[in-house]
Amino acid sequence: MLLLRPDAGQILIDGEPAVGIRPRAMDAIREKFGVLFQGGALFDSLTVAQNVAFPLVEKTRLSRAEIARYVEEKLAAVGLAGMGGKFPSEISGGMQKRAALARALIRNPKILYLDEPTTGLDPTRAGAIHALIRETHERFGLTVVMVSHDVPQVFEISDRVAFMHRGKVWLSGTVKEVMGSGDEIFAHFLAGKALEAAEGAAAGAL
């Protein structure tokens, strides 16, 4: 979404460049995205329903009745039907993530970007969020891009994986391809071990 600009290179979205373009063209690209931030980024002073409605209030001319209907639909889609009147402080961390996901979906984006969506959640709630993400992908036909350290659990819901090491894509492919790569650095990462020995082996092999 170019909240940060790249120092070099290009970013292509739907095959179109997203760097060095006019503001109006950039706005059109951003319209394609829904974002779930790592901390949820809900407004404490607004109810769950008001948080979800915020993009519609700010960016559209829909009536209050239309906005309320869309909000209820999205809250129901993420398992929060009837919870719109509560404030973020009154619901659990998992519910806050769901509310933030509903807000990310409210304008029917083509691409859903998730930044560490299960940070701070216990394994049970993290598993529920992962299942919800997969269900959301299938239900709404979205492209979902997720950054996560929940490995290998996140592989259970992913179609393709890119493993980054030292700021570069080290491995990429289907889950089966990445898991079966035999790469030592990736194996050490999965095991939670230090990478120095594996890096030495990789350098020697090169």
Domains of the chain: 1-30 (no CATH), 34-158 (3.40.50.300), 164-206 (no CATH)
Q: How far apart are CA 152 and CA 178, in angstroms?
A: 11
Q: Largest Cα–Cα distance of the chain, in whole Å?
A: 65
Question: At residue 64, what are phi and psi to the nearest 5 degrees?
Answer: -60, -40
pLDDT tens by residue, 9-33: 889 998 888 988 898 998 888 899 9
How many Cβ atoms from other residues are within 10 Å of residue 31's Cβ? Answer: 12
**Rounded average pLDDT over 156-178:** 92
The model's pTM: 0.82
pLDDT tens by residue, 122-162: 888 888 888 888 898 998 889 999 998 887 778 888 999 99
Position 205 scores a pLDDT of 39
Q: Residue 152 in contact with residue 126, Cβ under 8 Å?
A: no
Question: Which token pair is 165?
Answer: 């090491």
Position 52 scores a pLDDT of 98
Q: How far apart are CA 194 and CA 202, in angstroms?
A: 14
